[in-house]
Amino acid sequence: MTSRIGKGISWLLIVALAVTEIMATWLMWLGKSPFGVVIHGLLGLTIVLVGWRSLHTVRQNRIFSGHEPTLSQVYSLMITNLAMLEVIAIHDCDHMRQAMGWNYHFTLALLLVNIIVYLPNLISLVLASQGQLNGVVATLISGPLIAIAFLKLHLLGAWLPVWGPWNRSFFALGVDAISWWILVITAVAGILVGMIATYILGELTTS
């Protein structure tokens, strides 16, 4: 992957994330959740700024050596993390759709706790942009971590009752096919992110 292609795809994903968070903010407005409007507005702004800063960091660190990722590998890692963040954001929007159907209003505590799910891939994105091995390892962990956590919560219910209605499994909640498919896509995306990072790690450790 050339740097131009990697940069272009990264920017497209950052724009897609911004649009998705604007949609999330709008859904929170429709759901009469002022806290949600503020938090998702700030979250969208944060993601865009972190994405822009990460791309700027890559441009500064053009020279890679030894067992550190190549520029092509760095862009691959950044793209996978941005794509995972987009999937998580879409999953979040689906929860907002569910909440509106149930006439549920998000609490401030739930909104703040939910930010946790964005952190692993945001951190991995920043580390990957620095062109160091820890960015590969962080991406390898964050993708499967999100996949397993989401499957655990939505198939078996929560261990810690901090997720509002989603403390109960999707079976108990009786969600529709859209929510089930989004859950499947989220889990598959997380596993794919881990597999891509594992492949890159293998290239680095055997070179």
Question: Domain spans of the chain?
Answer: 3-206
Under 8 Å between Cβ of 76 and 189 = no
pLDDT value at residue 101: 93
DSSP 142: H
User: pLDDT value at position 60?
Assistant: 67
Q: Which 3 state secondary structure label does DSSP give 67?
A: coil
Indicate the SS3 state at residue 70: coil
Contacts 24+ apart (CB under 8 A), 58-66: 58/3, 58/7, 58/129, 58/131, 61/129, 61/130, 61/131, 64/131
Residue 124 CA to residue 115 CA, distance in Å, equals: 15
Q: Going residue by residue through the chain (207 aa), what tens digit of pLDDT does each one get?
A: 678 899 999 999 999 999 999 999 999 999 989 999 999 999 999 999 999 999 988 866 654 555 678 889 999 999 999 999 999 999 999 999 999 999 999 999 999 999 999 999 999 999 999 988 999 999 999 999 999 999 999 999 999 889 999 999 999 999 999 999 999 999 999 999 999 999 999 988 886
Which of 43, 195, 197 shows the shortest CA–CA distance to 125?
197
DSSP string of 80-137?
HHHHHHHHHHHHHHHHHHHHHHHT----HHHHHHHGGGGHHHHHHHHHHHTT-HHHHH
**Contact assessment for residue 51 and residue 125, using Cβ atoms and an 8 Å cutoff:** yes
- Whole-number pLDDT of residue 61: 60
Alpha helices in the chain, H assignment, sequence order: 3-30, 34-60, 71-102, 108-114, 119-129, 133-156, 170-173, 177-206
> pLDDT (tens digit, 9 = 90+) per residue, 54-108?
998 886 665 455 567 888 999 999 999 999 999 999 999 999 999 999 999 999 9
- Please list, in sequence order, all residues whose beta carbon lies within 8 angstroms of the beta carbon of residue 24, skipping any fewer than 6 positions away: 36, 40, 43, 44, 89, 92, 93, 96
Which pLDDT score, from 0 to 100, does residue 206 have?
Answer: 82
What is the per-residue pLDDT for 62?
A: 54
| Residue 59: predicted pLDDT | 67
- From residue 169, alpha-carbon distances to 77, 150, 166, 172 in Å are 32, 11, 7, 5
Cα separation of 25 and 41, whole Å? 6
